[in-house]
Structure 1
Amino acid sequence: MTENELSIEILSLSLRCQQGVASEEDRARLEYLLRESEEARLVYSGVALDTVTLAEVANKNSLVLPNENPTDDEIGTLAPAGMETELRPVRKGSWQFLLALAALVLIASWSVAMFQTKETVTVADRQARPLARIVHLEDVQWNSGAVEFAEWSAVNSGDSLQIESGMLELVVDDVIQVVIQGPANFELVSAEKALAHSGKLVARIGEEGIGFEIETPHAHVVDQGTAFSISVSPEAQTDVVVYEGIVDLSARDDSLPDSSQPPIFRRLQSGEGMRVDSQGELNRITSVGPRDFLPPLRLGREAVRPSRLIASVTDNVSSLETSKYYRIVGEGFAEDCVSYVDRLHQWNGIDGRGIPGFLHGADYVMTFNDDKVLDDLQIAIEVTQPVAMYVLWDDRIEVPEWLSKDFLDTGWDIGLDEGYNDRVPDVSRKTELGAGKSVDFVFSIWKQEVRHASTVLLGSVQQARIDEAPREVSQSMYSIVVAPLRGFRGNKAN
């Protein structure tokens, strides 16, 4: 798909969603594009900002067209060949009007670029745009005495967003998306820097935003093209976890006991997290859940709940050896859910019937797929009540003693959709949506009934250490799923 084709499809799907006429297939397609393509996410953000700019222009009755009083023929030249120029009348000022107007102008500009004609439609020059906009507010309570911003308000250099509770979403310079949860104090300095004085945030930054820095009372966080989350307790520490890409983390000079020593620097990659305390020391974060961090950004802001069943996940790997974390997802196990913190693989039903019903909506732990080469790993899962604990085991690997001793093979299977081959990356192979689609490998589902709140120890995948690089090994790490303990019976149908 070309850049122009992608832009037109994103715009068309967005328009149908906003008008309330999108089908389930339309919504699934839009969500898939935004999840899989950084370019699609940037186009989507641009559509939102251009729509707001059009709203401002429309309210001022200052829309500029090639002719102040265009004829029907002139209006027709704004649409690509084959596009109907007769539009249903909609109320001026409504979202339908704004998006229809945005669609007309934006498709026209892309069409003109494609065919290299001389006609253009200028609504607002990029330089005239504000530095950022608040594109969504959710149950926001502003701090007493703080400046209050409305949805779609412009945010410029020096503006401070101080919220007591709720969440807001900010888009900076079309390429940086930030969601902030109160209580929080966030200050935008420029298109290259922001100050996070307190609170939680999650950010997704496109290629053009690489180098964007977020400074906290304890640390400097510099993006290298990524998605990451930050939690700031101003008197204690700054916690940083990386969902995708790379972040450079260092302690602030003034937080170090000895200011003559250079600050400790750490480059964090997908699936890694570190804490910088008030003394400038860095320590590993072992597990990540929505109580402590905002989840990765997704279309629709689907509910992400803290786990009621899993209190913590730890292991025996020294914090000096790794910065990896385990991500705990409450009630999140479902078709096409992401499998690992360091891969974009997904869990799927092995056929059209989907994932087994007893796993649907369960809590689960996203493990680290690179750990598949270790022979001495121990993972400790602390549960808060009686649970059924499931281990999803790669059928390509011999079953170890710890698994066969403490768990029972249920006879059910689940599929892993890798989307590409780790050893020979193939960008043309994408993960697919839906049960039984694009299943690359089959995993057996093993179960243990844990009859009271306790800690369960799990072992390693390998019986002997593998010295090959993890991405060279055609096997996968196990995953852990936890559900309330109920009656369980039956085997899968043949």
Structure 2
Amino acid sequence: MSSPKSPYGEMVNDIEICDLIDACISNQATPAQWLHLSRLIVEREDVRACFAVQSMANARLANLLQLGEENDLGVFAQIEQEPVTRIEPSPPQKKRRIGVSSEALITLCCGVAVVLIVCVLAIGSWLVFPSIDNRPIAASGPVPPAAVIRQVEAGGGEIASFTEQELFAAKIMELPRGKYEATTSVGATIKLAGPIRFRVEDHLTWRLFAGKMVVHVPPSAKGFTVMTENAAIVDLGTEFGVIVDELGVTSVAVFEGRIDLTSGEMKRSLVIGDGFTVREKGRIDHLPIIDPMRFEEPIEELNPPIITDVQNNSPISFGTCQIIRGGFQEDSLAYVDRAHQWNGVDESGLPAELLGLDYVRMVNDWKFDEQILGRDDLEMTVTFARPVVVYLLADERVEPPIWLRRNFAKTGMQVGLDEGDHHCVRTGLSYKKEQATGPGNSIDEVMRVWKTELPSGGELKIGPYGSKSSGWVVPCLLARPL
């Protein structure tokens, strides 16, 4: 007699996936859980093998139960109630039972398991790659929506009049000018600026044809994906913005955490402060500057910024500075690649003259050279769209250079810097510092405020600046119309 064959496949080393398979096989899963398992079966061979093992075991158990008494007792209860097996001759008047070999029973169970796997794969393929013309299908209960969308503000600042809507997979939405917010079934929240055209592919995937969105993804929705004509943006626990303009150009900015950006054969991992554009599939270009409001505001509602461009001579290729409109205030973020915050040096707070101004959130790693060492030759050129008053916040640990004393006037104002924790996988720089809220608390460094005017706007050169021998931070720039 041949030895029994070992079961096909192994258990998945992930308790959540095992629980998910158990729920689906026992018919206790929700529609969302079935969708999640279907995607896993399509994408992962180990999950397919584990599902096969569980299905085979379930089918064998079901068949064993059918061979016993036809009642609702469990198999173990049935075994406990049976007396010791005795071999007795069958009454001559009864018909002989047809014997079923264990090999035939196993074959039958395997066949049932294979049919189940094929059905689940077919359903998973349909859910992961839905067609636009999907028709309703019969279900045991109502299918939950992929998201709920509501209007925050109508175009032109009017009162919102949009009726809250539920969004389902494969439905294309076209929204007029205005601001909207969607809450997805997986916990992600999405800010949308119209006019916008998009489609919900499934609970974890949206496709943006034109318009703007800012996506905030909690850990529970990790892997949320935004597709465009020439790019795919996959969340790794973050907040990011996406714009598809009238020419089909995709712009991506990371405001928190990190993402994977893929276009054709090109792939980049982006972290907080990074920004890129994709003009055609397979071509990813660095964004020189990011205006976060461009990702949240309808184009018609957005006035041209005071600060239009920032160029620098840093060899650091990562990190994109940001224009923060009207955002200089207590606890505002100082750099795109640090947790540093601006605060008043004492309880009186930030200087009133600076509150609410536009400022450039710089990249503090610009102070490093190719070997991630301090430098003394950092230069920046800032462009202004109209006449402005410019304020420069310079680290007091750096001796004021000649160009600063010649082109700027020293004011009596000071601004504090509350640094906080920092860890960077790119530079290896890591430290922990306490960080507090409000003015005068946990101030680590002091910045001196310098001032100048540009009656015609245009370009302003800053630098060379820095120090190789001491710690320092990149200067910050603020501006207001003249």
Amino acid at match of 1:284: H
Distance 1:158 1:421, change over 3 A: closer
Distance 1:460 1:222, change over 3 A: farther
Structure 2: gaps spanning 5 or more residues: 1-141, 369-374, 424-428
Amino acid at match of 1:292: R
Cα displacement (A) at 1:149:
6.7
Match of 1:268 among 244, 261, 270: 270
Cα displacement (A) at 1:140:
6.0
| Residue in 2 that maps onto 1:367 | 362
SS at structure 2 position matched to 1:389: strand
Amino acid at match of 1:184: I
| Residue in 1 that maps onto 2:385 | 384
- Aligned equivalents of 2:465 and 2:302: distance in 1? 29
Distance 1:483 1:375, change over 3 A: same
- Aligned equivalents of 2:249 and 2:422: distance in 1? 39
| Residue in 1 that maps onto 2:232 | 220
Cα displacement (A) at 1:306:
5.1
Cα displacement (A) at 1:392:
0.8
| Residue in 1 that maps onto 2:110 | none
Amino acid at match of 1:156: F
Q: Is the 8 A contact 1:317 1:377 kept in 2?
A: yes
Q: CA RMSD in A?
A: 2.8
> Residues 132-281 of structure 1 correspond to what in structure 2 (within 5 A)?
132-139=147-154, 150-151=163-164, 153-233=165-245, 235-251=247-263, 253=264, 263-281=265-283
Q: Is the 8 A contact 2:186 2:204 kept in 1?
A: no
Q: Is the 8 A contact 2:398 2:467 kept in 1?
A: no
Amino acid at match of 1:435: P
Residue identity over aligned pairs, in percent, reads 31
| Residue in 1 that maps onto 2:82 | none
- Aligned equivalents of 2:258 and 2:144: distance in 1? 29
TM-score normalised by structure 2 residue count: 0.62
SS at structure 2 position matched to 1:402: helix
1:314 correspondence with 2:314: no
Q: Is the 8 A contact 1:222 1:249 kept in 2?
A: yes
- Aligned equivalents of 1:442 and 1:455: distance in 2? 27
Q: Is the 8 A contact 2:379 2:465 kept in 1?
A: no
1:401 correspondence with 2:414: no
SS at structure 2 position matched to 1:340: coil
- Aligned equivalents of 2:462 and 2:210: distance in 1? 36
Cα displacement (A) at 1:386:
2.5
| Residue in 2 that maps onto 1:326 | 321
Distance 1:460 1:208, change over 3 A: farther
Runs of 4+ in 1 over 6 A off after TM superposition: none
- Aligned equivalents of 2:321 and 2:447: distance in 1? 20
- Aligned equivalents of 1:209 and 1:310: distance in 2? 36
| Residue in 1 that maps onto 2:78 | none
SS at structure 1 position matched to 2:441: coil
Amino acid at match of 1:378: E
1:294 correspondence with 2:325: no
Cα displacement (A) at 1:463:
4.3
CA radius of gyration, larger in: 2
1:343 correspondence with 2:338: yes
Q: Is the 8 A contact 2:294 2:302 kept in 1?
A: no
Q: Is the 8 A contact 2:389 2:452 kept in 1?
A: yes
1:481 correspondence with 2:482: no
Deviations 1:394-432 (A, max 9, x none): 2223333332332222121111122336666448x3441
- Aligned equivalents of 2:151 and 2:162: distance in 1? 11
Cα displacement (A) at 1:460:
4.6
| Residue in 2 that maps onto 1:444 | 448
Distance 1:425 1:325, change over 3 A: same
- Aligned equivalents of 2:247 and 2:305: distance in 1? 28
Q: Is the 8 A contact 2:466 2:472 kept in 1?
A: no
Q: Is the 8 A contact 1:307 1:329 kept in 2?
A: no
Distance 1:430 1:160, change over 3 A: farther
1:131 correspondence with 2:135: no
TM-score normalised by structure 1 residue count: 0.60
Between the two proteins, the alignment pairs up a number of residues equal to 324
Amino acid at match of 1:415: G
Distance 1:307 1:435, change over 3 A: farther
Q: Is the 8 A contact 1:288 1:325 kept in 2?
A: yes
> Residues 37-116 of structure 1 correspond to what in structure 2 (within 5 A)?
none
Amino acid at match of 1:396: R
Amino acid at match of 2:357: A
Distance 1:230 1:425, change over 3 A: same
Distance 1:352 1:196, change over 3 A: same
- Aligned equivalents of 1:440 and 1:309: distance in 2? 30
SS at structure 2 position matched to 1:459: strand
Distance 1:232 1:274, change over 3 A: same
